[in-house]
Structure 1
Amino acid sequence: MSFEMTKGLFKYDFTDQHAILGIPLDAEFNDIRKRYMKIARRLHSDTCSFESQADKDWANQFLSKVVNPAYNKFSKESDRKEYSLLLAAIGKRVVKEQAKMQIESEAAKQLATAQNWEEAYKTAVSKLALKQYESVKETQEAINQISELNMVYLLRKERQGIPTQPPPPPTDDKRLKKTDPPTPTPTPTPTPIQVTQPRTDSPAEPYCRRAQGFMDSKSYAKAILELKEGVKRDPKYSKAHAMLAMCYVEQNQATMAKLEMNKAFASNPEEPTALEVKKKLEQASAKAKKGDDKPGFFASLFGGKKK
């Protein structure tokens, strides 16, 4: 069974847990828990009202492999903080790459131009959440649309407070004479394409060199300590964040790897080590999807199947 979502924030190698649960990005934990319980009752094998057995099997698999892991991200305060940091990094990346943004759903297009966009966002998410788990067909499409709303919301939120370019002063028509020739419009100078060059003058560079030596000997814990000191001295040095991400990949800490990878991309979308980390994470994710999840405590949430 394929549970792949490909739109909105999912395009940024990010699992949009809010979209999976059908909740806005600023939802409180109590609201998240209530929403999860409602979805769990809808999809659990003992209470699922889907008609066909195939749909019931899909619902049970989707609950264990997608919905439960999404809720787990919010069940512990430490995990919520970590997820919030990752989401903040994604928001900065969305702004940086907005020129390449593609919006497909009508709801997200309307949100992009809405005046009262915060209220419009919550209304749109709530509307999609109402029918999100009514059928197998609607579930993944609703998740993709909510994630597009989340993407536009992050873009508008990050841009809030940024001063816009002031309009040119109005032309004083009284000063113009009929005999005056029209002022020619100057030809705009094309903006050169900016090619990001790797930096070598960062105060974090010596730490990166020492960390590379530790990484070569597979002493990743020592490398992480060096790199953390390095990013303290230059928080926007993409190479240091990318190397941190690689260390976390080698230690099987995917969430921390994604966080550092996105920090690297925020400074340099073409950071080579970050691109390598992204490839490794995608490969690991593909392998994980092929395996079956072991039954967890969610199977006993409703008492399990009756004998």
Structure 2
Amino acid sequence: MSLRIDRGIFKYDFIDHHAILCVPVDADVKEIRKRYLAIARLLHPDSNSSVGAAQKQLAGELLSKLVNPAYEKLTAERTRSEYIIVLSQLGKRLVQESGSVELHTDLAKQLASSPNIDHLYKSAIAKLAATQYDSLQQVPQVIAQISELNLIYLMRSAGKSLAAPPPPPAKTNSVTPPSPTPNKAPAPTPPPATEDSVAEQYIRRAQTLIEKNQFAQAQVELKDALKLEPKNSRCHSLIAVVYVKQNQLKMAKIHFDNALKLDPNDQSALAWKPKIDKALGQPSAAAKVSAPVNADGKQSDKSGSGGLFGGLFGGKKK
């Protein structure tokens, strides 16, 4: 049986791991892990003692070739962040190529024009997940159907993001001609509060976690923020600092580079990037992260004589 899928996101030479597990594209690690365990129980040989050898073999192939790689990709710290960024970029690219996007199912076509996309998308994913692996021969077709829904959701989400800047027309009529009260109604303030405020909540939680040295949890919050705002330079800087604190310098460099591409004046990225580049230029030095990082992702000013990484991660405290 062929496991090749060429619809939805798969059509663009991109493996849709979310479709394989049938979880929303904004699912967190906890939700992904829960779904994976449910699928693994269904496909594991011990759970299929009553079926024939051919069915057991097919279940094993689905588990080893599709399900396990998808789970590893979406939960491993080093790959999940990159995958989400590329996925978001794909959605934005396809918004501009929407004329070439081909939909095969009525559900995907309905989602493309639904005013309440979030509710319809999440409920459709949940319904398909309930029976996704019931018929093993039909699994590739079901995954393709889910991937079409993911594709539409990515495009619609990207569309919202691009359409956010124009101010809502309902409030423009309330502007008064006289000038005595110009300070009471700053026009540019309301529009950014729609989507930015959600990402800012993740960033603030991440800053609190960084102050407590809870870097793994901070990383999860910042990844969620990047799903909402992949072009937020401050978020890239903060998650880069988190990677530094976890001794993942290559990932840190990727996000510092992204931060500077988006904002060449990002102070945190400007301060850290030369030191990261220097450290990566000498791979034989094993780094131990010890310097405190404040809530803005800036390095402590104190430094000691800890060799190459003494200047990078800070030194002795006085």
Q: TM-score range by the shorter chain?
A: 0.5 to 0.7
Q: Which residue of 2 aligns with 1:29?
A: 29
Give TM-score scaled by structure 1 length: 0.52
Q: Which residue of 2 aligns with 1:67?
A: 67
Q: Which residue of 2 aligns with 1:101?
A: 101
- Cα distance per residue 1:138-177 (max 9 Å; x no partner): 211110010000001011111115179xxxxxxxxxxxxx
- Cα distance per residue 1:120-153 (max 9 Å; x no partner): 0001111111110001132111100100000010
Are the aligned partners of 1:50 and 1:135 in contact in 2 as well (CA < 8 Å)? no
Q: Counterparts of 2:33 and 2:107 in 1: how far apart (Å)?
A: 25
Q: Counterparts of 2:85 and 2:10 in 1: how far apart (Å)?
A: 16
**Runs (4+) off by over 6 Å:** 231-235
- Structure 2 portions without partners, runs of 5+: 167-252, 264-318
Q: CA RMSD for the aligned pairs?
A: 2.7
Q: Which residue of 1 aligns with 2:20?
A: 20
Q: Which residue of 2 aligns with 1:53?
A: 53
CA 1:233–1:35 in 2, change beyond 3 Å: closer, same or farther?
closer
CA 1:234–1:157 in 2, change beyond 3 Å: closer, same or farther?
closer
Q: Which residue of 1 aligns with 2:113?
A: 113
Which amino acid in 2 is paired with 1:64?
S
Are the aligned partners of 1:50 and 1:56 in contact in 2 as well (CA < 8 Å)? no
Q: Counterparts of 1:49 and 1:97 in 2: how far apart (Å)?
A: 48
Q: Counterparts of 1:108 and 1:119 in 2: how far apart (Å)?
A: 14
Q: Counterparts of 1:7 and 1:112 in 2: how far apart (Å)?
A: 16
Is 2:85 aligned against 1:85? yes
- Cα distance per residue 1:205-229 (max 9 Å; x no partner): xxxxxxxxxxxxxxxxxxxx9xx98
Which amino acid in 2 is paired with 1:125?
I
Equivalences for residues 205-224 of structure 1 within 5 A:
none
Q: Which residue of 2 aligns with 1:38?
A: 38
CA 1:141–1:99 in 2, change beyond 3 Å: closer, same or farther?
same
Identity %: 44
Is 2:136 aligned against 1:131? no
Aligned residues: 174
Give TM-score scaled by structure 2 length: 0.50
Which amino acid in 1 is paired with 2:116?
N
Q: Which residue of 2 aligns with 1:157?
A: 157
CA 1:106–1:49 in 2, change beyond 3 Å: closer, same or farther?
farther
Q: Which residue of 2 aligns with 1:5?
A: 5
CA 1:78–1:102 in 2, change beyond 3 Å: closer, same or farther?
same
Q: Counterparts of 1:81 and 1:233 in 2: how far apart (Å)?
A: 17
| CA drift at 1:50 | 6.7
Q: Counterparts of 2:30 and 2:3 in 1: how far apart (Å)?
A: 26
- Structure 1 portions without partners, runs of 5+: 165-224, 236-307
Which amino acid in 2 is paired with 1:33?
R
